[in-house]
């Protein structure tokens, strides 16, 4: 669960994601990539702007949004990150570990 300023701007709230090795992800259709920093890029749908992917240029993994997954995921949250940048309009009330 990422509360950083970039994820908040792009998602409209908080971005939740998991990641896999890039070879484990098969993408169908077009992705619009935005270089959000010198070291990472963000992928969204060019038609509806769904925020789908985050990729660090130097890493061989790719993060994908949990909201994009169909049906039950069987996943659980492991941590909140960049909570120092969180919005003032919500509280983090679960017991998931937080990192500043």
- In the numeric block, the tokens 């990539």 are attached to 33
Considering only 21, 67, 79, 84, the residue that binds other proteins (CB under 8 A) is: 67
CB 80 within 8 A of CB 96: yes
Site for other proteins in 14-53 (CB under 8 A): 14-17, 32, 34, 36, 42-52
Least distance to other proteins from the beta carbon of 79, Å?
12
Cα→Cα distances 18→59, 68, 73, Å: 14, 11, 11
Regarding 100 and contact with other proteins (CB under 8 A), the answer is: no
Distance CA 41, CA 43 (A): 7
Least distance to other proteins from the beta carbon of 4, Å?
10
Distance CA 88, CA 4 (A): 13
Binding site for other proteins (CB under 8 A): 1, 6-17, 32, 34, 36, 42-52, 65-69, 72-77, 87-91, 93-95
């Amino acid at each position: 669960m990422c509360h950083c300023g970039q994820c908040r701007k792009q998602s409209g709230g908080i971005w939740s994601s998991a990641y896999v090795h890039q070879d484990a992800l098969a993408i169908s259709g077009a992705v619009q990539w935005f270089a959000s920093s010198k070291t990472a890029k963000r992928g969204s749908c060019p038609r509806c702007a769904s925020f789908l992917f985050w990729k660090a240029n130097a890493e061989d993994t790719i993060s994908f949004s949990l909201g994009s997954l169909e049906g039950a995921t069987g996943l659980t949250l492991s941590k909140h990150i960049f909570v120092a940048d969180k919005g003032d309009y919500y509280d983090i009330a679960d017991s998931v570990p937080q990192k500043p």
